[in-house]
Structures are given as C-alpha cells and as structure tokens.
C-alpha cells in the first residue's frame, strides 16, 4: 500500500480507502471498531490525533509517527463543524446561552483554524476574546478563544503543562480530555467546576463530578502509564547549521542571560522555572482573557490569582521553521498565536520591557531560541 501511495495508485479521498486504513490502524489517532462482518460500527480518538504528527517520509502527511509533536495541520473545529448533528453541543452550550443555535456553533468551530482547540468553551461558553491586548495596545477584537494545541514533549522536570497555570500538570489534562472532551468512560473530579460564575456550563452539567463504576472505568487505569510515557518524550533537537546559525546563536546566548533578561523566567537549561512557573497577565503586559478562564491559583497573600505559565522553549524551532507541517501553518507564538514569527515575539518583548535590543541583537536572539 505504501508503494501504491507513492506512485499515486490509491485515491486517498475515497471513503473506502479511509475505512481500510482505519482497519489497518494506519490513521494517526483514529481507532475503528469493526464487527465480525468487518462493518465499521464506531470510531474513537486517541491523544495522537492532536498531539502527534508524521515525518512525511512517504508523502505530505504520510510517514512514520512522531509522538508529542502537535498536528499543526489538523483543523479540529472544521471537522467538528462538519458533523451532521450538532444538537448535543447546542444543548450543552445552551446551559450558558439559551439562544444559541447549530449555525452559531458551526461559526464558532470554523473560527478556530488549523492547530487550535478551545477546551474551555464547553465549560464557560466564552467563544471569543473581546479585546486582545499587548503592552496596552489593542491587537485584536473578538478573537477566537481557541488556543494552539501544545506539544507533549520536553515536559519532564517542571510544573504546569498547559498555557495557563490553574490546570496543573499533564496528567490532570489527560483525565479531563479523556472524560469530558472525548467522552471516554471514566472518572473525573474537580470541584472548582462548581463555580457557576466562572464555569456556568460545567457547574450545571456536573462536569467536575463524573463518576464511573471501577469495573466499567476505561480511563483511570491508563493514566499512570500515559503520564510516564509523555514525560519520557524529549524535546526535538535542532541541527547546527541546518536549523539555526551557530555563530549568531552564540551571540544570542549571551543576550538571553544578559541584556534580554530571558533567563529570569525561562531558566536554563530547562527553559522554564523550577517550582511555580506562572506569571500574571499584568506582569506579562498582555490581556488576561485566557488566564481568567482557568481555575484560580493562590497568591502570596492567600487570595485567588490567574496567570500564564512560563513555556519551556526547547524544540521551538520546529514551529518557527514549519517542520512536519504545511507551510501556511508554521509559526504563531503565545497561547493564541498572536505573534506570527519568533522575531515578532522578540520584538514585542523588546518593546514591552524596554530591553533596548538592536535589530541585529533581536535576530541573534531568535537564532539562539532556534538552537534550544
């Protein structure tokens, strides 16, 4: 079949071919359930559908699996919007907005775009950020609330694995997604979802109190091994002279720990803080929309606080260079992808924190980031 695909002898747009590939477990992240007559009765999804990609060794989008790298070409919203019956989603979102329609839901789903997902939509019903802000300047209005699907590599050794701190580590997210997003038969508990002011949908639907008989639970027993596997996935290593300029990166290294002050948060060699790696939106000089959607943490005075986690930067060159993805989907940085390139991101930090970096220093810093 691989040889036939290479020579264009198989029509990959034929549903019968897709069915055969599912039966052969060849579709990334898709599991088919067939009866004794080989009739496809149902389809399930695994972590790999979003958090794995392929090396394109056979053709574009076809090759050996690379676990932990985001599928940046996957348009989750468009796929969900194509469902013939969205009434179950309408019923859920109606707990926050009684006037919502299937057409409204499709418009929201189609606003996400490739490589993004909005898990909180089904908790708080907030589809759009009314005012995206960077350094006191409005950079977008009514921006989709979807965030970039994060990589699941280089997660070991530090705390907080989602864009915002309140969700905790990757194993929390595994349980939440498996039970509340993919509707696996399992157990999930988080009494913070009972806060109807923050999570009107989750509170009314009881999404923080999903309980399954242990003999029927298909999720909980999988969590320890899944957690261990994810923490064992190292960040992808860049190639000197191919993925970055070594001389420029050496100059950027000095800036990272010096003039640019990046190391104050993105602590070498882990590229995030050991301990509680979260900072407030005010400290970052950006809007708090996404941070406010997460459960609150506790600040030094004992009060609730919301923030963004310090991203571990290792392997960031993959997104910058557009490796293992369509060219049009490369780049995009920060939780909502507001900065198209790493240079745009560095320029923003330069302006926000008055770093005084020259154009050459900005470019050198980018090369160093690509070397991590």
One domain for residues 141 and 258 = no
Number of separate helices (H) and strands (E) present in the chain: 16, 14
pLDDT score for 51: 96
Q: 183, 203, 234 — which closes off a domain?
A: 234
Which single residue is written with the structure tokens 């039966």? 23
What is the spatial distance between Cα 163 and Cα 151, in angstroms, rounded to a whole number? 11
One domain for residues 88 and 224 = yes
Four-CA torsion 189, 195, 197, 198, nearest 10 degrees: -40
One domain for residues 255 and 218 = no
One domain for residues 163 and 178 = yes
What is the spatial distance between Cα 204 and Cα 193, in angstroms, rounded to a whole number? 9
**Per the structure block, which two tokens stand in for 369?**
């980031």
Stated pTM of the model: 0.94
pLDDT tens digits in sequence order for the chain, 372 residues long: 889 988 989 999 999 999 999 999 999 999 999 999 999 999 999 999 999 999 999 988 999 999 999 999 999 999 999 999 999 999 999 999 889 999 999 999 999 999 999 999 999 999 999 999 999 999 999 999 999 999 999 999 999 999 998 898 999 999 999 999 999 999 999 999 999 999 999 999 999 999 999 999 999 999 999 999 999 999 999 999 999 999 999 999 999 999 999 999 999 999 999 999 999 999 999 999 999 999 988 777 777 889 999 999 999 999 999 999 999 999 999 999 999 999 999 999 999 999 999 999 999 999 999 999
One domain for residues 111 and 50 = no
One domain for residues 2 and 48 = yes
One domain for residues 83 and 230 = yes
In a domain, 82, yes or no: yes
One domain for residues 20 and 162 = no
Q: 23, 54, 74 — which closes off a domain?
A: 74
What is the spatial distance between Cα 310 and Cα 287, in angstroms, rounded to a whole number? 16
Cα distances (angstroms) measured from residue 288 to each of 138, 200, 202, 307 = 13, 19, 21, 7
Smallest Cα–Cα separation from 322: which of 115, 131, 161, 27? 115
List of E strands, the chain: 30-34, 40-45, 52-54, 65-67, 116-117, 128-134, 137-144, 147-148, 188-189, 209-210, 278-279, 297-298, 304-305, 308-309
In a domain, 118, yes or no: yes
Q: 234, 261, 285 — which closes off a domain?
A: 234
One domain for residues 9 and 80 = no
Q: How many domains does the chain have?
A: 3
Residue 192's SS3 state is: helix
In a domain, 166, yes or no: yes
Q: Which domain holds residue 20?
A: 1-74
């Amino acid at each position: 079949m691989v040889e036939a695909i290479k020579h264009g002898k198989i029509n990959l747009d034929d549903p019968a071919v897709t069915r055969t590939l599912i039966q052969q477990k060849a579709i990334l992240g898709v599991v088919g359930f067939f009866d004794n007559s080989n009739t496809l009765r149902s389809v399930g999804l695994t972590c790999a559908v979003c958090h794995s990609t392929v090396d394109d060794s056979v053709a574009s989008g076809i090759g050996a699996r690379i676990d932990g790298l985001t599928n940046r070409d996957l348009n989750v919203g468009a796929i969900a919007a194509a469902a013939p019956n969205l009434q179950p989603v309408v019923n859920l979102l109606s707990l926050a907005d009684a006037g919502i329609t299937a057409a409204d839901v499709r418009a929201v789903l189609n606003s996400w775009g490739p490589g993004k997902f909005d898990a909180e939509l089904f908790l708080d019903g907030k589809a759009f950020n009314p005012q995206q802000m960077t350094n006191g300047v409005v950079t977008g209005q009514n921006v989709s609330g979807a965030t970039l699907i994060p990589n699941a590599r280089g997660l070991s050794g530090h705390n907080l694995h989602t864009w915002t701190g309140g969700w905790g580590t990757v194993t929390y997210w595994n349980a939440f997604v498996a039970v509340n997003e993919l509707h696996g038969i399992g157990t999930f508990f988080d009494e913070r979802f009972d806060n109807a002011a923050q999570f009107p949908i989750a509170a009314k639907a009881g999404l923080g109190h999903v309980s399954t008989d242990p003999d029927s639970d298909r999720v909980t027993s999988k969590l320890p091994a899944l957690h261990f596997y994810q923490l064992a996935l190292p960040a992808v290593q860049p190639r000197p002279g191919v993925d970055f300029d070594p001389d420029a990166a050496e100059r950027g290294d000095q800036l990272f720990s010096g003039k640019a002050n990046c190391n104050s948060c993105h602590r070498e060699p882990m590229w995030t803080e050991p301990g509680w790696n979260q900072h407030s939106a005010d400290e970052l000089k950006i809007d708090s929309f996404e941070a406010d959607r997460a459960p609150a943490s506790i600040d030094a005075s004992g009060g609730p606080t919301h923030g963004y986690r310090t991203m571990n930067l290792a392997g960031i060159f993959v997104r910058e260079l557009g490796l293992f993805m369509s060219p049009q989907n490369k780049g995009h940085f920060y939780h909502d992808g507001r900065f198209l390139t790493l240079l745009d991101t560095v320029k923003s930090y330069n302006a926000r924190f008055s770093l005084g970096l020259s154009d050459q220093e900005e470019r050198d810093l980018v090369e160093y980031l690509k070397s991590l």
